[in-house]
Structure 1
Amino acid sequence: MLSELSTPARHSRSLFIFKVLRRILSQLSTQARHSSSAFVLNIVVVVVAVVVVVVVVVVVVVVVVVVVVVVVVVVVVVVVVVVVVVVVVVVVVVVVVVVIVVIVVVVVSVVVVEVVVEVVVVVVVVV
């Protein structure tokens, strides 16, 4: 009789334990789904972060390269302009010096010719 009384109690206790185990498994399954979706979300966030970092690095590199190219082009243009200006100034100075030398030579030669002619005239008149 005692065994008959304990059988339903044992059955009810095992049913209760089964229900508790089932509830625990259900919660674990829900947590596992949430944690796996959180894991996937974390992976997506990391991938997006890596893509953003790569894009930012590429943009920075492109901007730096463009700035360097612009600076090099500006420096080359400035150097070319300075060289052209120096060459023009040197050519102008050389032309001016040549013109001055030619003028001086012509004037001196004219003066020398006049003096020689005067001397010849004086010598001829004296003789």
Structure 2
Amino acid sequence: MFDEHCLVVLYVMRTALWPSVVVVVVVVAVVVVVVEVVVMVVLVVIAAVAVLVVVIVVVVVVKGVVLVVVVLVVVVLVVVVVAVVVVVVVVVVVVVVVVVVVL
């Protein structure tokens, strides 16, 4: 019932399917990394625009209030740093998963 011919067929199927599994994992990893980078860039742009708008509003409305601008800039920078850390963590996790699956 289960002879050498079956083993050969199973081996050929496994070796034929394995590269496609690796390709799928690598493609998914690349897509995840690209999406994360795009999200990070969008967050940085939003943060930069928010800082610019706040600076313009504060400078136009109240010329003496510098503390508000500093606080808002710090908050936006913290958001950007958190976004970058999240992207780095996701990229590291994806790379580790790809390496584990490939090896």
Q: Kindly indicate whether residue 29 of structure 2 is the aligned counterpart of residue 91 of structure 1.
A: yes
Count matched residues: 62
Q: TM-score, normalised by structure 1?
A: 0.44
Superposed CA deviations along residues 48-93 of structure 1, whole A, max 9, x for unmatched, are: xxxxxxxxxxxxxxxxx44432221111112222211111111111
Higher relative contact order (CA 8 A, sep 6+): 2
Q: Which residue of 1 aligns with 2:49?
A: 111
Identity %: 54
d(CA) in 2 for partners of 1:70 and 1:115? Answer: 68
Q: How does 1:1-127 map to 2 (within 5 A)?
A: 65-125=3-63
d(CA) in 1 for partners of 2:58 and 2:31? Answer: 40
Q: TM-score, normalised by structure 2?
A: 0.54
Point out the structure with the larger helix share.
1
